[in-house]
Amino acid sequence: MTSTLASMTGFARHAGSHDNASFVWEIRSVNGRGLDLRMRLPAGLDGLEPALREVAGKRLKRGNVSATLTLKRESQAAMMVDEAALEGLLRHALALSERIPGAMVPRAEALLALPGVIRPAPAEDVAEDAEAARQEALAATLAAGFDVAIEALDRARRDEGGRLAVIAADLLGAIRRLVAAARAHAPEQAAQHRARLQGALADLLGDSDPVPQERLAQEIALLATKSDVREELDRLDAHVEAAHALLAESAPVGRRLDFLMQEFNREANTLCSKSASLQLTAIGLDLKATIEQLREQVQNIE
């Protein structure tokens, strides 16, 4: 079955250009309780932020997301020949060549290469409405680039989510096997408590009058009831099924899985506290360690 999980960790980069400007979007995402989007935009482009936040909110539900736009305007100023400077230089060059016997007539490319002959052309007056149209077109291109980057980030997070789903399924399988092992030791609980109680009474009373069998039976029955771990094991099995069901959902399930991890821990702790044998305690500790590994993975799920 194809996983629909998404991680909260990912990175995307998209570069593009428009007119005489080039830009790069870089978006990073890490774990977060909700969706926290921080944007770094060049001066003068703050007006883009509301629309970009709306785009991000449609694709991402959780995570601390940082989006940075780098914009480089490649200005190519027009150049012109300073006719007055060229005329003066030409006049002096011709006069000088006439004074020097055998001197060559000055060449055009040599004159044009002299400082001050070629200079930037005066800036053109751009109509206000034309400039507004250029800025609007640039903003549309930047917004489209952001959409591409967000889509790439979403894809990266879902790819990571697929890997998380495999790890989570393996850990749930390990939990199920540990629960089965604990269930095999569960029937021994009453006998082990009986032996422990009888041994403690023997050490305490010594050769004194023994405790009436009826009273002893009552205490053992009470201990057996308190030490019965079958209910905890049943709930752990139910939690495993619930976790598998959540992993198969298409909606974000990270918060619900995180809550379920608390329930897993509660049952494992109770199992350990009720245990009357080293074997069951060891299984309970392994359960707690495996549940913690699963909880760490769940922290990354959207």
| CA gap 255, 253 in Å, rounded | 6
Predicted TM-score (pTM) of this structure: 0.71
Q: Is the predicted pLDDT of residue 213 greater than 60, yes or no? A: yes
- How do residues 34-56 score in pLDDT, each as one tens digit? 999 999 998 888 889 999 999 99
Q: At residue 199, what is the residue type?
A: G
Q: Is the predicted pLDDT of residue 194 greater than 70, yes or no? A: no
Which among 174, 164, 168 is positioned nearest to 288, based on CA atoms? 174
| CA gap 154, 270 in Å, rounded | 40
CB 62 within 8 A of CB 24: no
CB 258 within 8 A of CB 302: no
**Other beta carbons within 10 Å of 60:** 23
63-73/35-40 β-pairing: parallel
- Residue with the larger pLDDT of the pair 209 and 179: 179
What per-residue confidence (pLDDT) applies to 1? 43
For the beta sheet containing 21-30, the strands, ordered from the edge strand earlier in sequence to the opposite edge, are: 10-18, 21-30, 63-73, 35-40
The mean pLDDT value of the chain amounts to 85
* Phi and psi torsions of 41, nearest 5°: -115, 150
What per-residue confidence (pLDDT) applies to 36? 95
Q: Is the predicted pLDDT of residue 167 greater than 80, yes or no? A: yes
Q: Is the predicted pLDDT of residue 228 greater than 90, yes or no? A: no
What per-residue confidence (pLDDT) applies to 41? 93
The b-or-e profile of 34-53 (16+ CB within 10 A means b, else e) is: ebebebebeeebeebeeebe
CB 68 within 8 A of CB 62: no
Read off the pLDDT of each residue in 156-176 and give the average, rounded to a whole number: 96
- Residue with the larger pLDDT of the pair 96 and 257: 257
| CA gap 243, 260 in Å, rounded | 7
Tokens of 80: 């012109």
pLDDT band at 10 (very low <50, low <70, confident <90, very high): very high
What per-residue confidence (pLDDT) applies to 64? 96
CB 164 within 8 A of CB 295: no
| CA gap 24, 44 in Å, rounded | 16
What per-residue confidence (pLDDT) applies to 113? 83
- How do residues 68-88 score in pLDDT, each as one tens digit? 999 998 765 566 788 888 888
Tokens of 213: 């069998």
Tokens of 107: 């060449």
- How do residues 254-277 score in pLDDT, each as one tens digit? 999 999 999 999 999 999 988 878
- Residue with the larger pLDDT of the pair 237 and 18: 237
- Stated as kind and residue range, the H or E segment containing 21 is strand 21-30
- From 83-97, 140-154, 166-180, 274-288, the region with the lowest mean pLDDT: 83-97
Read off the pLDDT of each residue in 273-291 and give the average, rounded to a whole number: 92
CB 23 within 8 A of CB 51: no
| CA gap 297, 5 in Å, rounded | 12
Burial class (CB in 10 A: 0-12, 13-18, 19+), 69: buried
Tokens of 126: 């751009």
What per-residue confidence (pLDDT) applies to 193? 63
What per-residue confidence (pLDDT) applies to 54? 95
Q: Considering the chain, what percentage of its residues have pLDDT values greater than 90?
A: 55
| CA gap 172, 177 in Å, rounded | 9
| CA gap 247, 39 in Å, rounded | 31
- Residue with the larger pLDDT of the pair 96 and 176: 176
